[in-house]
Amino acid sequence: MKKKLTYTDAGVNIDKADSLVETIKKIAKKTRRSGVMGEIGGFGGLFSLNTTNMQSPVLVSSTDGVGTKLKIAFLMDCHDTVGIDLVAMCVNDIAVQGAKPLFFLDYLATGQLKSQTVENIVNGIGDGCIQADCALIGGETAEMPGFYREGEYDLAGFAVGIVDNSKIVDGSEIRPGHQLIGIASSGLHSNGYSLVRKICFDVLNLTVDSHVPELGKTLGEELITPTRIYSETIQHLLRDLPIQGLAHITGGGIMDNIIRVIPQACGIAVKKGSWDIPPVFPFLQAAGNVDEIEMMRTFNNGIGLVAVVPEKNTQDVVNRLTGSGEKAWVIGEVTKPRKNAKSRVKLF
């Protein structure tokens, strides 16, 4: 008589998944905010917009992942910070348009569910949501045997925020002479890790446990540092200061991201040496023999967010940022277009 096969025999444990839902509910409860309806476990997450007091509310959404930074988490068996990265990469992208984050959903896929690993990941997501003042209202945990390497997984996130139509930060009022204020990153954030891994593991033959004198810590400790979440900082600025544009410095670095919020008729000039560059960036540049332009296009180089402001308000914005615990510098300005220039970005 043939054995009766079950889903568990195929590598999918429904009972374990159900148990994890109960754990995730407890984590999500910590992120609860006004507007949340119901609990995790239904077919869809519910959120009421009746709690917003806007004349013309606009929803702003973003989706992203953590990229190959996950490889560092696998090597270190450290899974409690990549959830913060996941929230940050999504929330920062909506925050720069003036939106206040409302809720977040996640997608976690792995070959075999390991309860403690999943709990650590979702705890990190919960921490990120608390930092961003948004609610974790749903998600998906998929067990896909044979699809991922042992001990590996992938993450994706989805964030929704809200902004009044009249207060969308779209860069339309940016003019030549406006100043670029750079706000410090916490390090690499979640970009450029394919190049980072090539330099550190293939060229230098380091491991995540290698102590790097230039960094004052192990390589793993540096590389696993979570991404800064700027949503509350941005909301604080927008309350009473004229912020004409905001750029999240993510994939593409300073070279490609600031220009995304600058009107086509303008360019930007970025002054080298005008901000403090964390040691990890010169370390990588020297070890990989990476040229300056490639560094500026691949990494944030110590600047995770840029605000574009009228010159007369520059010092007020810098003071507000430093007063709230951020590190901020004037790193350049908006310029008139240069004739026959190949790029709208100038480094000087």
Whichever domain contains 217, its CATH number is 3.90.650.10
Average pLDDT over residues 12-35: 86
Do residues 147 and 46 share a domain? yes
Q: How confident is the model at residue 3 (pLDDT cuts 50, 70, 90)?
A: confident
Do residues 257 and 293 share a domain? yes
Assess if residue 98 is contained within a domain: yes
Do residues 90 and 46 share a domain? yes
Do residues 190 and 304 share a domain? yes
Assess if residue 202 is contained within a domain: yes
Q: How confident is the model at residue 21 (pLDDT cuts 50, 70, 90)?
A: confident
Q: How confident is the model at residue 10 (pLDDT cuts 50, 70, 90)?
A: confident
Do residues 91 and 128 share a domain? yes
pLDDT of 244 strictly over 80? yes
* DSSP, residue by residue, 36-67: EES-TTSSS-EE-STT---SSEEEEEEEEE-G
Do residues 143 and 30 share a domain? yes
Per-range mean pLDDT, top range of 17-26, 29-38, 238-247: 238-247
Do residues 20 and 90 share a domain? yes
Which of 103, 136, 167 is the C-terminal boundary of a domain? Answer: 167
Do residues 308 and 189 share a domain? yes
Q: Report the range of poorest mean pLDDT among 100-104, 156-160, 194-198, 333-337.
A: 333-337
3 state DSSP class of 268: strand
Cβ atoms within 10 Å, residue 166:
10
Which of 167, 199, 223 is the C-terminal boundary of a domain? Answer: 167
First-last CA distance in the chain: 79
pLDDT (0 to 100) of residue 295: 96
Q: How confident is the model at residue 100 (pLDDT cuts 50, 70, 90)?
A: very high
Evaluated on CA atoms 101, 259, 243, 320, the torsion sign reads: positive
Do residues 272 and 129 share a domain? no
Do residues 61 and 152 share a domain? yes
Do residues 54 and 152 share a domain? yes
Rounded Cα distance between 338 and 246, Å, is: 23
Which distant-in-sequence residues (6+ apart) come within 8 Å of 103 by Cβ? Answer: 35, 36, 45, 47, 134, 135, 136, 137, 159, 160
Rounded Cα distance between 345 and 331, Å, is: 13
Do residues 251 and 149 share a domain? no
3 state DSSP class of 154: strand
Q: What is the pLDDT of residues 39-68, one digit of tens each?
A: 887 889 999 988 778 889 999 999 999 999
Assess if residue 55 is contained within a domain: yes
In percent, the amount of the chain with pLDDT more than 70 equals: 99
Which of 167, 193, 208 is the C-terminal boundary of a domain? Answer: 167
Q: Give 157's strand partners.
A: 64, 106
Total structural domains in the chain?
A: 2
Domain that holds residue 87: 14-167
Assess if residue 334 is contained within a domain: yes
